[in-house]
Amino acid sequence: MRLYNVGILGATGAVGREMMKVLEERNFPIDELRLLASARSAGKQLTFRGEPITIREASEDAFNGLDIVLGAAENDIAKRFAPAIKTAGAVFVDNSSAFRLDANVPLVVPEINPEDVRAHHGIIANPNCTTIISLVAINGLRKASSIESIIASSYQAVSGAGAAGLQELRDQLRAISEGREIKASAFPYQIACNVIPQIGGETFEGYTSEEMKLQNEGRKIMHLPEMKVSCTCVRVTVMRSHSVSLLVRTKDKITVEQARKLIAAAPGCKLTDDLSNRVYPMPLDTSDQDLVFVGRIREDLTHDRGLNIWCCGDQVRKGAATNAIQIAELLLN
C-alpha cells in the first residue's frame, strides 16, 4: 500500500487536533505527518500514533514533499498559503470558507457528491459544519424527489466557536454556581443559560453570513441552483454537536414512511425516530462520532409536500475534521 505525506495547517486548533485523532482512527496511510501552525506554537509537540511530532511554523516552503494538506486555519491563512501548497504539488483540502464558492474549487460532502473531487485543480473545499449536517440528513430524500426549498433553524454548540467558546461556557457556568460576575469575550453576550440568535455578521437582507451558507453551499453541493433556503442560526448552551430543525419541501410528495426508509438507508445517517418511546436525536448522543442522527420526521401542516425533520451531528468531526479526511480518502482512490 502506498503511504502519503500529509500536512495539517492549523494543527493546534480544535479542528486540527481532531483531524489528527480521525486520521489515527481511520488508519489513513501516512508516511509523514507534518504539523504546521503559527510561530508561537512552533517547537511544541503533539502525539500521533504514540509518537511525538514537533510542530513547525507555517511558511511558503513548509509544504515541499507533501501529497495532501488538510486546512484547519482561518480564511486569511488559507488564502495566504494556498498558492504555495499548489506549487509544492500537494492537494489542499481546506476547512475554511475561503474557497467554498469559487467556481473552480469543488465543494464536497463525500456521501452526496464524491464525483466532484475529480474536478479539483489543487484545492478542494470542506463545507460549513451546519451545511454538512443538514444535507447529509436530507440527501436520501432525493432518491424520491428533487428538493425545492428548506426552512432551517440551527441550534449550534459553543464548540463551533473553537476552544475559546468551550472554555467560556465552562467559565460562565462555574461563575454562576459560585455567584461571581459573568464575563463574555468569545461571544457578544453571556452564553451560559442563554441563546444568542446571531452567528456571523449581517450579509444579506438581515441574514448573517452563517445563515446564507446553507443556501449558497447547499446549491453547489447538491447541484440544485434554484433551491431556496431560509435559515436562522442560534448559538445555544451546548458543549458539542449542532442540532438543526428542517422543513424540507420537495417537488413530489414524500410520505413520512417513505422518508424514514430513505433516510435509514442513506450513507452517513442514523434514523432515531420513535416519539412514543422518546427516541430522537440529541447532542449528547451524537457527540464524538461521525453519523448524523435524524428523527422527529412528520408531515408539515402548512404545505402538502413538506416534511419536518430534526437532526443532530458532531460539527467538529463530521462537520469539519472527518469530512475533510473522507475527501482525502477519495483522493487515494
Q: Is the pLDDT of residue 163 over 90?
A: no
Task: Dump pLDDT digits (tens) for 17-38.
Answer: 999 999 999 999 999 999 999 9
Q: What is the mean pLDDT of the chain?
A: 97
* Terminal-residue alpha carbon distance, the chain: 12
Cα torsion through 92, 98, 104, 109, rounded to 10: 70
Question: So what's the pLDDT on residue 61?
Answer: 95
Ranges of beta strands (E only) in 187-241 are: 202-204, 207-208, 228-235
| pLDDT band, very low/low/confident/very high, at 162 (cuts 50, 70, 90) | confident
As annotated, the active-site residues are: 129, 242
Backbone angles phi, psi at 67, to 5 degrees: -95, -40
* Confidence label for 219 from pLDDT (cuts 50, 70 and 90): very high
Residue listed under C-alpha cell 425545492 = 148
Q: How buried is 76 (Cβ within 10 angstroms: 0-12 exposed, 13-18 middle, 19+ buried)?
A: exposed
User: Which pLDDT band holds residue 1 (cuts at 50, 70, 90)?
Assistant: confident
- Predicted confidence at residue 197, as pLDDT, reads 98
Q: How confident is the model at residue 286 (pLDDT cuts 50, 70, 90)?
A: very high
- CATH number for the domain whose boundaries are 4-127+320-332: 3.40.50.720
Interval 217-223 mean pLDDT: 98
Average pLDDT, integer, range 95-112: 97
**Domain 132-315 is in which class?**
alpha beta
CB atoms within 10 A of CB 2: 7
The domain ranges of the chain are 4-127+320-332, 132-315
Asked if the model's pLDDT at residue 266 lies above 90, the reply is yes
Confidence of residue 296 (pLDDT cuts 50, 70, 90): very high
Helix, strand, coil shares of the chain as percentages rounded to 5?
35, 25, 40
pLDDT of residue 26: 97
Q: In this predicted structure, what is the pLDDT of residue 236?
A: 98
Q: pLDDT-derived band of residue 172, with 50, 70 and 90 as boundaries? A: very high
**How large is the average pLDDT for residues 278-288?**
98
pLDDT in tens, 226-253: 999 999 999 999 999 999 999 999 999 9
